Chain A
């Protein structure tokens, strides 16, 4: 068999296992639009803008989706139940050995699951894909205690700036979550290279994104495979008002950074009038997962 044919057939086997994993569990495969009317509000993710319909005198601007998250949440709000999707997503200003403007994302939502049940299900998916490595689970706070002497949940901005300075790093950051991430990238992530599968959960509430907040923590998790971030999941917030507040927080930060900030996806918020059911959802980078499993 030619090399190309072998690669294509291996990759097909891999995606087939993923699809069958969900079919067996009655999780419905969906397809949602990838050309959207509003760009993402995420402060550090940039949508790619496309101009359409110039030649037919109906010019307009659309945006390639950076993740199928909001379109899938519209389906959840309409009563879809458990759903999954594997699709191409697009992000501007991404570059590097493991970053690119286009990649494949597996995104799925499980009704009534909390993040621990979702992490268990991902572990089962890894096993179905042939990985039997021991799985390590640490909270964000524990991982900082294990690999540094920082009490991350009880450190304020000035504590963290002092630590950064002591390490010879810039402390020129406007938001505490950015300096938490700097210390995570500098001190913690290199240590995770030794761990085949590591879940980190319960992030500081400043890094909540779209996850439920309980006191100082947000019920959010990431999965690292040998030190590379491969998955990001939330116990999802449910009401339109919560989404509106979180989007506005991000848009305000975009404004401070002189990035485009004028888009709030009102049609999404309208579809969410009755909220989405209690659920947890996760996005998994498929190329990163595939390459770490085939090593």
Chain B
């Protein structure tokens, strides 16, 4: 199946240079004395890179068979990360290189979005906020409850996040996965 430029819109998944891509921005440019073009920004769903291409109106691209499914993270065996579609109980696994930043935020049983291309998983997006446990941090100053300063804390996934001084080992904290920032006590 193909889509032509008049059907282009943000979020549409298309094949470009052999990789599935998602349209991030679609700008119609009609020079006063020329034909109309679409100047399109794409995100390559495999490499994460941004590409910019210009098409004359009427050109078409092949649709990419891409699905985003909510799945449950089951476990990691050290090489592969295993997920399950709770609707079909079908299981999928991804290697470290496809996991990206998601490895920093997922603990077993968590829900996340797994992107499938031709039914193969290509990337994982954690929820915007996750709750993780502090496994290591320096003791805070007594009486500091205002959170004026900050210190690094290692969480149960291994990721390190700046936290307020009053946070101590064993505390549960809320982390924004898009910015890797502490956003409160859980």
A170–B29 touching, CB < 8 Å: no
Which A28-73 residues sit within 8 Å CB-CB of chain B? 42, 44-45
In the bound complex, CA of A232 to CA of B33 (Å): 9
Q: A169-B54, A185-B39, A186-B54 are in contact. Are A178 and B34 (CB under 8 A)?
A: yes
In the bound complex, CA of A178 to CA of B33 (Å): 10
Q: What is the 8 Å Cβ interface bit string for chain A, positions 148-180, against chain B (1 contact, 0 not)?
A: 000000000000000000001110010001100
Q: Chain A binding site: helix, strand, loop or mixed by DSSP?
A: mixed
Whether, in the assembled complex, B30 has its beta carbon less than 8 Å from a beta carbon of chain A, the answer is yes
B33–A207 touching, CB < 8 Å: yes
A96–B28 touching, CB < 8 Å: yes
Which A179-205 residues sit within 8 Å CB-CB of chain B? 181-182, 184-186, 189-190
Residues of chain A with a CB closer than 8 A to B30's CB: 44, 94, 96, 99
B54–A42 touching, CB < 8 Å: no
Whether, in the assembled complex, B143 has its beta carbon less than 8 Å from a beta carbon of chain A, the answer is no
B28–A222 touching, CB < 8 Å: no
Number of chain B residues close to chain A: CB under 8 A: 21
In the bound complex, CA of A95 to CA of B5 (Å): 12
Whether, in the assembled complex, B59 has its beta carbon less than 8 Å from a beta carbon of chain A, the answer is yes
Residues of chain B with a CB closer than 8 A to A265's CB: none
Whether, in the assembled complex, A279 has its beta carbon less than 8 Å from a beta carbon of chain B, the answer is no
Most B CB contacts (10 A, CB to CB) among A169, A170, A173, A185 go to A185
Q: What is the 8 Å Cβ interface bit string for chain B, positions 32-76, against chain A (1 contact, 0 not)?
A: 111111010000000000011111100100000000000000000
Which residue of chain A has the shortest Cβ distance to B35 in the bound complex? Answer: A44
Number of chain A residues close to chain B: CB under 8 A: 27
In the bound complex, CA of A168 to CA of B31 (Å): 21
Residues of chain A with a CB closer than 8 A to B144's CB: none
Residues of chain A with a CB closer than 8 A to B171's CB: none
Whether, in the assembled complex, B138 has its beta carbon less than 8 Å from a beta carbon of chain A, the answer is no
A181–B31 touching, CB < 8 Å: yes
Q: A170-B55, A182-B54, A186-B54 are in contact. Are A97 and B35 (CB under 8 A)?
A: no
Please give the distance in Å from A147's CB to the nearest CB on chain B.
14
In the bound complex, CA of A198 to CA of B27 (Å): 20
Which B68-115 residues sit within 8 Å CB-CB of chain A? none
Contact of B54 among A95, A185, A209, A222 (CB under 8 A): A185
In the bound complex, CA of A168 to CA of B32 (Å): 25
B39–A186 touching, CB < 8 Å: yes
Most B CB contacts (10 A, CB to CB) among A94, A173, A181, A232 go to A181
Please give the distance in Å from B130's CB to the nearest CB on chain A.
37
18 residue pairs from A and B, CB less than 8 Å apart: A44-B33, A44-B34, A44-B36, A95-B28, A96-B28, A96-B30, A97-B27, A97-B28, A170-B55, A173-B56, A181-B31, A181-B34, A182-B37, A185-B31, A185-B37, A186-B39, A186-B54, A232-B33
Per CB-CB distance, the 10 closest pairs between chain A and chain B, nearest first, are A96-B28, A186-B54, A181-B34, A232-B32, A44-B35, A185-B37, A185-B29, A99-B30, A209-B33, A185-B54
